[in-house]
């Protein structure tokens, strides 16, 4: 048992990553507070599932366009300094939303604009932050660190929505955004406290024309990188739209309220924490394990859509959270361990597009399906899409696994 625990948390022995982890503990809780509050604010302003999907889409439109450029920037610049800038911009966006809500002047267009600004910060932050994990812990601890970080994201999914639900019914939605604005300062402090000489920094790429096109060509010509990205694109478009679908399931399928929604979100978070910790404790072959997890992920989401009552749905959401976080951690690890170092930022920029940048397409579509056809249909459709991607991508992931075992680089 002791050796398992030590293996599960091994990357936390690295001081720089430990600082980053603590900062993320605070910041990610704030992020989930805002996500729940934003979805519920739009639902209160409009009563429309499509509007909830639209504001979510606006937050991720910049990722679709700018994340590949963000990957180029991540390859060109010092990642620690770049993260300070992106975290500061995200804090300013959250603070502005809190101000208009608390002052009672909030209108729907304001929520749309500030969500879009937050997306601009995220389009650079995401590929930079993903590749910065490797610089903090090295190749040997990468899968462990990514799995722990995924567990942390989803522990925040438990804590954040619970706090959000309490704040919404006591002091109001506005304070959710103010608290999130303050939470970004924890990450900025952690970044300043790190020891630069202990980072395994990737050589900064010199600025030259055509670097964005070069990244696209590399991914297209490298099946070991292309397959996980395409699978995530399917999942990101149709499955990971829970902040759009779950409010509809809570309100219209189970006749619930904000607390029902936050309980469902928290159930997924509990499962995700467990799934992330289990992934961190294993010495997985990431690619072949990703193929298996993708298939189970799709099946579990279909079962969640078929749940006859709220209790069964909560149990299914726990399992769904575990599968979803394992899929993310293993896909991320597969890409970073396979990609050429000088291309890693650009590869992770396209990963961000696949995971988050597809939301502008998926969120309105899934919101429309949930509103017009039914929330269960929206949830089940996402599960079927993931299952099909697992079937189609299986052979490619087996080839990635064989290449990794032979020591062949992803070029």
- Integer-rounded Cα Rg, in Å, for the chain is 20
pLDDT in tens, 247-256: 888 888 888 8
- What CA–CA distances, in Å, run from 153 to 38, 147, 200, 409? 18, 10, 24, 30
Query: Does the pLDDT of residue 284 top 80, yes or no?
Result: no
d(CA 155, CA 161): 10
The predicted model gives 122-142 an average pLDDT of 86
- What CA–CA distances, in Å, run from 83 to 7, 63, 98? 28, 16, 23
The structure tokens listed for 172 are 């109001």
Determine the Cα angle at 37 with ends 171 and 90, to 5°. Answer: 110
Query: Does the pLDDT of residue 410 top 60, yes or no?
Result: no
Please give the CATH architecture assigned to the domain spanning 8-194+211-406.
Up-down Bundle (1.20)
pLDDT in tens, 20-29: 999 998 998 8
Residue percentage of the chain with pLDDT more than 70: 93
- Kindly indicate the confidence band of residue 411, based on its pLDDT and cuts at 50, 70 and 90: very low
- Kindly indicate the confidence band of residue 290, based on its pLDDT and cuts at 50, 70 and 90: confident
pLDDT in tens, 55-80: 877 887 787 788 888 888 888 888 89
Alpha helices, H only, 77-141: 79-102, 108-137
What integer best gives the mean pLDDT of the chain?
A: 84
The pLDDT value given to residue 65: 81
Query: Does the pLDDT of residue 338 top 90, yes or no?
Result: no
Determine the 3-state secondary structure of 107 from DSSP: coil
């Amino acid at each position: 048992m002791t050796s398992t625990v030590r293996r599960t948390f091994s990357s936390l022995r690295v001081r720089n990553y430990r600082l980053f982890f603590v900062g993320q503990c605070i910041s990610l809780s704030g992020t989930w507070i805002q996500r729940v509050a934003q979805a519920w604010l739009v639902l209160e302003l409009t009563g429309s599932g499509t509007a909830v999907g639209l504001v979510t889409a606006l937050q991720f439109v910049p990722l679709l366009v700018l994340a590949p450029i963000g990957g180029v920037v991540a390859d060109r610049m010092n990642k620690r300094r770049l993260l300070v800038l992106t975290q500061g911009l995200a804090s300013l966006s959250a603070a502005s939303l809190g101000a208009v809500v608390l002052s009672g002047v909030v209108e729907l267009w304001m929520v749309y604009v500030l969500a879009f600004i937050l997306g601009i910060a995220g389009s650079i932050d995401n590929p930079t932050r993903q590749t910065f994990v490797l610089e903090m812990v090295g190749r040997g601890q990468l899968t462990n660190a990514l799995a722990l970080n995924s567990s942390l994201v989803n522990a925040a999914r438990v804590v954040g929505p619970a706090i959000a639900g309490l704040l919404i019914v006591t002091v109001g939605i506005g304070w959710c955004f103010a608290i999130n604005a303050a939470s970004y300062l924890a990450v900025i402090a952690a970044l300043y406290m790190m020891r630069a000489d202990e980072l395994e920094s990737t050589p900064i790429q010199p600025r030259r024309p055509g670097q964005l096109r070069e990244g696209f060509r590399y991914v297209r010509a490298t099946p070991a990188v292309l397959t996980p990205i395409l699978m995530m694109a399917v999942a990101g478009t149709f499955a990971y739209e829970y902040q759009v679908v779950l409010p509809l399931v809570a309100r219209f399928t189970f006749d619930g309220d904000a607390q029902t929604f936050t309980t469902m979100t928290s159930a997924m978070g509990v499962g995700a924490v467990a799934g992330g910790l289990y992934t961190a404790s294993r010495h997985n072959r990431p690619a072949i394990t990703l193929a298996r997890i993708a298939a189970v992920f799709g099946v579990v989401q279909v079962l969640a859509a078929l749940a006859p009552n709220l209790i069964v749905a909560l149990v299914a959401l726990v399992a769904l959270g575990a599968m979803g976080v394992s899929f993310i951690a293993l896909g991320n690890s597969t890409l970073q361990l396979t990609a050429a170092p000088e291309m890693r930022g650009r590869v992770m920029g396209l990963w961000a597009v696949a995971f988050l940048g597809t939301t502008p397409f998926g969120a309105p579509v899934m919101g429309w399906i949930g509103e017009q056809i039914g929330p269960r249909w929206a949830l089940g459709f996402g599960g079927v899409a993931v299952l099909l991607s697992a079937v189609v991508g299986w052979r490619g992931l087996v080839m990635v696994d064989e290449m990794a075992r032979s020591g062949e680089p992803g070029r």
